[in-house]
Amino acid sequence: MLQVQFIRDNKETVLKGLAKRNFANAETIVEQVLSADENRRAAQVSLDNTLAESNKLSKEIGGLFKSGEVDKANVLKEKTSQLKEQSKELTEKLATFSDELQGLLYQIPNVPHASVKAGNSEEDNENIFSEGTIPNLGENALPHWELAKKYDIIDFELGTKIAGAGFPVYKGKGARLQRALINYFLDKNVKAGYKEVQVPHLVNTDSATATGQLPDKDGQMYHSTVDDLYLIPTAEVPITNMFRGNLLQETDFPITVTGYTPCFRREAGSYGAHVRGLNRLHQFDKVEIVRIEHPENSYNALNGMVEHIKDILRELKLPYRILRLCGGDTGFTSALTFDFELFSTAQDRWLEISSASNFETFQANRLKLRFKNKEGKSELAHTLNGSSLALPRVLAGILENYQTADGIKIPDVLVPYCGFDMIN
């Protein structure tokens, strides 16, 4: 969530940033925010003045009673009663204006970083890096959903029977390969300095709101209405909320955390060949990295996260590219996002497998996550997160790009984790 002071002091910058996102009615909603803030501040001043006058009169009343001037004291008591009624009305007005302001601020996405280009969709994203060799598999190469059936390692129909489309069942070597990937990703992250945690797979409304899933993604998350809990769409939500409300010291930076969780996404409206097999699921596994950083170091940290993910893909020997997302494709909470995509030779298309994002103070403002700077003043921290990595499309890429006439070869780095080197 943007800070009102930032919007007030940088109105034109905010409007230009929102224009990169093609954010509808940006000028209207910014003006509404500024107006609501003026009303809120005016109500706060009136309330403060009313309370101050009431307190002053209360002291005078005590003195008048002590000196025996009862009549004067009673006159002032009547006035304090009126002031209490006024303060009650002002308190209600202040709450109304504050709620209005909060509701408006929740509608405004983050302002993109200066390096983010304007654009409408993924077609306008910038390809900034690519690496790896795309294998020549020949005409008989199969997509992963056919390989999964051929080798009996993923059963999509059985998952549909149990839960519905988008909930596959991993079997035999497919399940072991999944587990191997999770352990490999976690070990790489821990070796890089990230602290491993296990976190809840459900979160409350405060947590979902603090990281920006609510209200923006309301309807895209699975909601247990009886307990008012949400199944997490990513480990980013519970991990980042570990620090909600914290006041840090500069010596606490950087805070680096990693965790594995299943992820749940309704993906309402998704259909077509591009979502077949593992390409888009309602439940999938992902290993996440989260950083809490000093504002001066957050973009260095983002670059470090990108290099870390590169190293994983190099070890897996998968062809990949990195995109800097345009304004129209950047997530609601992010200031700058790099997407990693691997090339699926059998599908002849690029598949997104990771995102690394800097949210700057946008999440921290909702989280009330602050630190004491060198001057002893309270300042918002920066939050970052990245997929390291999301399993379904990595698994799809391995199955498709490593297929041979004899079976599916396991990447060398995963063999110690799997205990086998071929699926056949």
* Model confidence band, residue 140 (pLDDT cutoffs 50, 70, 90): confident
- Model pLDDT for residues 251-288, shown as the tens digit of each residue: 999 999 999 999 999 986 555 556 789 999 999 999 99
- Model pLDDT for residues 373-411, shown as the tens digit of each residue: 999 999 999 999 999 999 999 999 999 999 999 999 999
- Percent of the chain at pLDDT exceeding 70: 98
The two domains 4-105 and 122-423 share their CATH topology (first three levels equal)? no
Give the dihedral of Cα atoms 294, 296, 300, 301; nearest 10 deg: 10
Residue 59 is predicted with a pLDDT of 84
Three-state helix/strand/coil letters over the chain: CCCHHHHHHCHHHHHHHHHHCCCCCHHHHHHHHHHHHHHHHHHHHHHHHHHHHHHHHHHHHHHHHHCCCHHHHHHHHHHHHHHHHHHHHHHHHHHHHHHHHHHHHCCCCCCCCCCCCCCCCHHHCEEEEEECCCCCCCCCCCCHHHHHHHCCCEEHHHHHHHCCCCCCEECCHHHHHHHHHHHHHHHHHHHCCCEECCCCCEECHHHHHHCCCCCCCCCCCCEECCCCEEECCCCHHHHHHCCCCCEEEHHHCCEEEEEEEEEECCCCCCCCHHHCCCCCCCEEEEEEEEEEECCCCHHHHHHHHHHHHHHHHHHHCCCEEEEECCHHHCCCCCCEEEEEEEEECCCCEEEEEEEEEEEECHHHHHHCCEEECCCCCEEECEEEEEEEEEHHHHHHHHHHHCEECCEEECCHHHHHHHCCCEEC
- Model pLDDT for residues 113-138, shown as the tens digit of each residue: 999 999 999 999 999 999 999 999 88
- Model pLDDT for residues 163-217, shown as the tens digit of each residue: 999 999 999 999 999 999 999 999 999 999 999 999 999 999 999 999 999 998 8
Residue 269 is predicted with a pLDDT of 55
Q: Is the pLDDT of residue 69 over 90?
A: no
Q: CA 263, CA 282: separation in Å to the nearest integer?
A: 8
pTM: 0.92
- Model pLDDT for residues 310-348, shown as the tens digit of each residue: 999 999 999 999 999 999 999 999 999 999 999 998 889
Give the residue, 54 or 334, on which the prediction is more confident. 334
Residue 222 is predicted with a pLDDT of 97
Pick the CATH number of 122-423 from 3.20.20.70, 3.40.50.300, 3.90.1200.10, 3.30.930.10: 3.30.930.10
Mean of per-residue pLDDT scores for the chain: 95
Residue 270 is predicted with a pLDDT of 54
Beta strands 169-170 and 154-155, pairing class: antiparallel
- Percent of the chain at pLDDT exceeding 90: 88
Residue 273 is predicted with a pLDDT of 53
Parse the chain into domains and list their residue ranges.
4-105, 122-423
Does domain 4-105 fall under CATH 3.30.413.10? My reply is no
Residue 274 is predicted with a pLDDT of 63
Give the residue, 68 or 311, on which the prediction is more confident. 311
